[in-house]
Amino acid sequence: MTDKDQFFMREAWEYDPGAKPKPAPDAHLGFNTRALHTGFDPLKSVKDFRSFVPPITQSMTYPYERFEEIPYPVYGRTQTPTTAVLEERLAALEGGEACVTAGSGSQALFDLIFTLTRPGDNVVTSLNIYGEGYKQATAIFPERCGVDFHFVDDPADPASWDAAIDDKTKLVWVETPSNPCLFVTDIAAVADVAHAKGVPLLVDNTTATAALQKPIALGADMVLLSITKFLCGNASVLGGAVVGPEALVEDVRWNTTEFVGAVLQPFEAWLTLQFLETLSLRMERHSANAQRVAEFLAGHPRVEHVNYPGLVGHPQHELAQRQMRAGGGMLSFVAPGGMAGAGAVIDRFQLITHAVTFGTSRTICMHPPTITHEHMTPEERAKAGIDDGLIRLSVGLEDPDDLITDLDQALSG
C-alpha cells in the first residue's frame, strides 16, 4: 500500500469498551473560553489571513505543492479549513476526541448508523426520539439497508434497555431531553447497561447542548447534534455533527461522508462559530424564560398538562437536576380539545410564530402529531406521551412577560 493509499483509506472503527478516551481539545479551559478560542488563534493567523475571526475558506479543492505531498484537506467532501475549526470547537465543548459535521442533524445520524451497521444488525432506542429519526428507524434503514431498530418498553428502566440488546446490536441511541415531550433518560445508567453488553452509547444532545449537559462525561461514547437548533440559535443554519472517538469520527468522514457528500458548507460553519460564542449565555436565558413560561402554563386552567424538566412535577425532575445545569429552552403542553383545540390556540398567537424547528432566539411553536411525529401510529404517539392536543414551544429570548401575555390570550380565546 502506498502513502497515498494510507492517506485516503481508513480502517472501520471497532468499539473497545475498555479504551480510555484521549483528553478533549483544550480540556483544561473553561466552557466559555473554549466556545471563544478553540480551533483558531488570531495571532497565528496573521501571516495568512490577518483575521480576528476564523475566515471563510470558500474553496472545495486544495492544491498540491508536490506530487507526493498530499494537502489536507484535499477536497471539500471531507473537510474545509472553516469546518475544521468548527469541528475542533464542538469536540472541545462536548468533551470528545473529535467531531465530523454534516449537512443536517438527520444526515449526521444517517452517516453514523450507515457507518456502524450492516444488514442483519440492529440499533436499540426508544420512542422518545425526534420524528425524522423515527422515520429512519422504522422505514429507511429496515427496508433499504436491512438494519432493524429495537424500541425499549420502558425507557426509564435500565433493565428494559438491557433486555432489548442482543448480539447483533451495534449501537444504543438515547435522546434526552426528548423532543417533543422532554422525557429525561438516565445517561449513566443506560451507559452502564450498554457497556456491559459491549455496545457503544450515542446521546442526542441537541435539546440541552453542552452548555447544559455533558453526555460523554456521564458515560456516553458519542454525541449527536443538530447544529440547526440551539447551537445556531436563529434558524439561519442547517447542519449536524457527531462527536466521539477520533477513530470513529474518521471512519464516518472517510468511509461515509466522503462518498455521500452531504457536508456542512464553509459559510454555515462560519456562522455557527459566531453563534457558539454566546451559547452559554443564550442557554441560560432560554432556560430562565422557559421556567417562567412552564410555571405559568402549569397553573393555567386551560392547560391540561405541561412537559418541562424544570418543573417539580416532571417525572424525571430529580434526574434532570443531577444530569443538567438547567431545564433548557423547550417545553410542550396539552391544550384542551385535541387537534382542533391545539390548532385554535396556535392560530390565536400574536407574538409566537408557528413554524417547524426549535432552538430559535424568537419563540416558536409547532404541533408534533401532525408534523414531526405524523409517521407514528396513534398508539405509538400515546405511548410516547404525544397527545393530539400537544403543542411544542421553543421559548426564545424575549421578555418572558410578553410571552406569557400572548399565551394567556391565545389559551383564553
Give mean pLDDT, residues 158-176.
98
- Across 137-239, where does the E strand assignment appear? 148-151, 169-175, 201-204, 222-226
Say what the pLDDT of residue 10 is: 73
Whole-prediction pTM: 0.94
77 noted as active-site residue:
yes
Residue 47 has pLDDT above 80, yes or no: no
Of 283, 247, 253, residue with least CA distance to 93: 283
pLDDT digits (tens, 9 = 90+) for 181-191: 999 999 999 99
> Strand order in 364-366's β-sheet?
305-307, 330-334, 390-394, 364-366, 353-354
Give mean pLDDT, residues 54-65.
91
Which position has the higher pLDDT, 255 or 70? Answer: 255
Give mean pLDDT, residues 192-220.
98
Q: Cα dihedral sign for 316, 136, 257, 49?
A: negative
The one catalytic residue in 34, 77, 214, 381 is 77
Q: What are phi and psi of 242, to 5 degrees?
A: -125, 130
130 noted as active-site residue:
yes
Say what the pLDDT of residue 8 is: 58
Residue 20 has pLDDT above 60, yes or no: yes
Q: Rounded to whole angstroms, how far apart are CA atoms 75 and 229? A: 28
Say what the pLDDT of residue 3 is: 45
Classify residue 270 as exposed, middle or buried by CB count within 10 Å of its CB (0-12, 13-18, 19+).
buried
Q: What is the DSSP letter of 331?
A: E
If one counts every other C-beta atom within 10 angstroms of the C-beta of residue 129, the result is 24
Give mean pLDDT, residues 200-217.
98
Please report the domains of the chain, with CATH numbers, ordered by start residue.
Answer: 3-276 (3.40.640.10), 279-412 (3.90.1150.10)
- The chain-wide mean pLDDT, for the chain, equals 94
- % of the chain at pLDDT higher than 90: 88
Say what the pLDDT of residue 222 is: 98
Say what the pLDDT of residue 46 is: 61
**What is each CA distance from 304 to 214, 307, 350, in whole angstroms?**
32, 11, 22
If one counts every other C-beta atom within 10 angstroms of the C-beta of residue 196, the result is 11
Give mean pLDDT, residues 5-14.
69
Give mean pLDDT, residues 78-84.
95
pLDDT digits (tens, 9 = 90+) for 293-338: 999 999 999 999 999 999 999 999 999 999 999 999 999 999 999 9
Residue 290 has pLDDT above 80, yes or no: yes
Give the model's confidence band at 9: pLDDT under 50 very low, under 70 low, under 90 confident, else very high: low
Helices (H), 179-264: 187-196, 246-252, 258-260
Give the model's confidence band at 1: pLDDT under 50 very low, under 70 low, under 90 confident, else very high: very low
Residue 4 has pLDDT above 50, yes or no: no
Least confident of 22-31, 145-154, 403-412: 22-31
The one catalytic residue in 111, 121, 148, 204 is 204
Say what the pLDDT of residue 70 is: 83
Which position has the higher pLDDT, 1 or 228? Answer: 228
Say what the pLDDT of residue 7 is: 52
Least confident of 45-49, 124-128, 173-177, 379-383: 45-49
Say what the pLDDT of residue 72 is: 84
Residue 244 has pLDDT above 60, yes or no: yes
The one catalytic residue in 229, 253, 282, 381 is 229
pLDDT digits (tens, 9 = 90+) for 265-279: 999 999 999 999 999
The one catalytic residue in 89, 121, 130, 388 is 130
